[in-house]
Amino acid sequence: MKRSGRRPGKPDTREEILVSARELFATLGFDRASVRRIAAEANVDPALVHHYFGSKNDLFLAAVDLPFDPAVKVRTVAQPGVEGLGERLIHMFVTMWDSPAAERLVALFRAAHGEEQSANLVRKVFESRIMDVLNGVLGQTVDHIDMRANLVASQLFGLAMTRYILRLQPLASLSVAALVTIYAPTVQRYLTMDLSAVVNE
């Protein structure tokens, strides 16, 4: 996300657009929440939304207030294919949480457990920015990609919760290399295991 030193326009208008964006992204999802609708909800001209935030993508990132785009991160590690992807995902995920971005991630994570609307927003981030990207990059070569993305998330989110929110010991003190040794095989299995029996149950 681009951060400029000075914000253009009145802070109130900008904040009103962000409030509308958060509400509509959470209730309608990324695709259905159009810039036109967000502008209407905030009582401003759509051109003003573009003026303040650039693309709808940038608006979304400003709304969830992450210092990076999860879609870009996921595309980068998924691009070389499914081989070794478990290791690359764990490495990327832990590095991200060990960085200064962690504060925002904790906030987003906590929000996901708060009100229903915030949980919806996090689900939408996941669906539109992670599952869609994985589908685009790996959809041709890997089956049941939505299910696999869910399974990988169930391990990564649990790692985030126990290591960074609850700070369970000794897990919270493990090195990145140790975490890769432990978790990469789990994630790799979720990405490659035979799911036909599970899906047809």
Residues 154-193 touching a copy of itself, rule: CB under 8 A, are 154-163, 165-171, 174-175, 177-178, 181-182, 185-186, 189-190, 193
Judged by CB under 8 A, how many residues of this single chain contact a copy of itself? 47
Nearer to a copy of itself, 47 or 182 (CB): 182
- Binding range to a copy of itself, per CB under 8 A, among 19-27, 40-48, 49-57, 110-118: 110-118
Among 69, 109, 136, 192, binds a copy of itself (CB under 8 A): 109
From residue 58, give the alpha-carbon distance in Å to each of 50, 55, 108, 151.
9, 5, 17, 28
Residues 129-158 touching a copy of itself, rule: CB under 8 A, are 146-147, 150-151, 153-158
CB 184 within 8 Å of CB 83: no
CB 50 within 8 Å of CB 12: no
The span from the CA of 18 to the CA of 61, in Å, is 10
Binding of a copy of itself by 126 (CB under 8 A):
yes
